[in-house]
Structure 1
Amino acid sequence: MEKSEWAEISALVAAAPYPVEVLPADPERATACLTALEITTRSWLGAVVANSGGLVIDHGWLRVLGGGHDGLPDVTAEMDADDGRLIVAYDVMGGQFAWLPAEPGARPTVHYFGPEDLAWHDLELGYGDWLHAMLAGAVTQFYEGLRWPGWEAEAASVALDEGISALPPPWTREGKDLSVVSRKPIRLAELVSVHQEFARQLGYL
């Protein structure tokens, strides 16, 4: 029988320093995703896809994509075969994590596009190392500058297909202190699109 990495991931979920919800898997969708990605459950990504609809981490702040769930797309939803880009997670502020090669032929690493600077950053971690870090506690430090008092209840109150829009936005000087800006839930796809459009207009993309 093919070895799965899910046991190790499950142990990390159980030991995580913040809440982690494993969304139920849909076997048919999971199989379709694994086929499209041409991977097996012996990889961490394959194990997440096969065994979950996604992982909801730290009061809903981070949503790691798996085989898909109501309100959350599967990990193949925005797969770009041309550059090898695969969106593997979103955060509640409209940030994106993509797994892609830094250059053609290179080993893929996870990159982050965040609302605080509208730029892609290579985290220089493979998918397994990145997910291990996020489940082990790295979310807290990673998002230290994007949080405000009471963010936990606010993040937990929005649906999986929603994010939190801030005005002025975090990439402006006036929007750096998220405790004093205007915040409201909007569709996550719209929030991500707005960030990307501003990045294009400002010449960051």
Structure 2
Amino acid sequence: MRVEQSAWAEISALIEAAPYPVEVLPVDAERGASCLGVLGVTERSWLGAVVANSGGLVVDHGWLRVLGGGHDGLPDVVEAMPESGGLVVAFDVMGGQFVWGRPQPGAAPTVNYFGPEDLVWQDLERGYGDWLHAMLAGALTGFYEGLRWPGWENEVAAVALDNGIDTFPPPWTAEGKDLSQVSRKAVPLGELVSVHHDAARQLDG
């Protein structure tokens, strides 16, 4: 039975009005309900509405993959939960990772981004609902301005949901900043995310 006052209607309206394509992946109802139970949320929250009503959202030709109740090639938010805490709510095709719930002591949880350009966690200073609203309303374009290259749309759209684009030289190097001049290939997304985190640890060490 559908929960009253679901946030999905508001999210759907944003999807329809988005300045770039957004695909709503189908979700298995039982799997979505199971995720809601683990998370302890309802469809009245934006996170709950996304989990219950979608297997995930594929935004801007597949550049951003917002996690929902799970779909072929895309984990649900519970599956993607790291042991260190927080909630992985999205990945991008470059192996970037969005985690909700890495707050400073005494502060409300916010969405943080770890990306391949600088290999550090960036506090976006938005809760989940505000972050998703911004991503669907057009903020993606400016956010990723430095990580795109001419013709990226077709290249990214051809990448499977469980893959990302690895570049050489990597984006955190001076030689890898111009993505139009690097070597690019599709690799498993989990592997790409791990490579970025491993590189960050090595550089810190």
Same-fold status (TM-score > 0.5): yes
Rounded to whole Å, the distance in 2 between the matches of 1:115 and 1:163 is 12
Rounded to whole Å, the distance in 1 between the matches of 2:198 and 2:30 is 35
Cα offsets for 1:64-104 (capped at 9, x unmatched) = 00000000000111324754x10000000000000013224
Q: What residue is the counterpart of 2:147 in the other structure?
A: 146
The Cα of 1:2 is off from its aligned counterpart by: 2.5
1:56 maps to 2:58: yes
Q: What residue is the counterpart of 1:47 in the other structure?
A: 49
Q: What residue is the counterpart of 1:160 in the other structure?
A: 161
Instruction: Describe how 1:68-147 pairs up with structure 2 within 5 A.
Output: 68-80=70-82, 83=85, 85-147=86-148
Instruction: Describe how 1:1-40 pairs up with structure 2 within 5 A.
Output: 2-40=4-42
Give the total of aligned pairs. Answer: 203
Q: What residue is the counterpart of 1:202 in the other structure?
A: 203
Residue 145 of structure 1 aligns with an amino acid whose one-letter code is: G
Residue 6 of structure 2 aligns with an amino acid whose one-letter code is: S
Rounded to whole Å, the distance in 2 between the matches of 1:61 and 1:160 is 10
User: What secondary structure does 2:167 align onto?
Assistant: strand
User: Residue 80 and residue 94 in structure 1: after superposition, are their counterparts in 2 closer, same or farther (change >3 A)?
Assistant: closer
Q: Report sequence identity in percent.
A: 72
5+ unaligned residues in a row in structure 2: which ranges?
none
User: What secondary structure does 2:65 align onto?
Assistant: strand
Q: Quick check: 1:24–1:52 contact (8 Å CA) kept in 2?
A: yes
CA RMSD of superposed structures (Å): 1.2
Q: Quick check: 2:102–2:112 contact (8 Å CA) kept in 1?
A: no
Residue 123 of structure 1 aligns with an amino acid whose one-letter code is: L
Runs of 4+ residues deviating >6 angstroms: none
User: What secondary structure does 2:133 align onto?
Assistant: helix
Residue 42 of structure 2 aligns with an amino acid whose one-letter code is: T
Rounded to whole Å, the distance in 1 between the matches of 2:165 and 2:9 is 33
Rounded to whole Å, the distance in 2 between the matches of 1:69 and 1:139 is 22
Rounded to whole Å, the distance in 1 between the matches of 2:41 and 2:59 is 24
TM-score, normalised on structure 1? 0.96
Q: Quick check: 1:101–1:107 contact (8 Å CA) kept in 2?
A: no
Q: What residue is the counterpart of 2:179 in the other structure?
A: 178
TM-score, normalised on structure 2? 0.96
Rounded to whole Å, the distance in 2 between the matches of 1:21 and 1:82 is 30
The Cα of 1:130 is off from its aligned counterpart by: 0.3
Rounded to whole Å, the distance in 2 between the matches of 1:77 and 1:103 is 25
Residue 53 of structure 2 aligns with an amino acid whose one-letter code is: N
Rounded to whole Å, the distance in 2 between the matches of 1:79 and 1:60 is 21
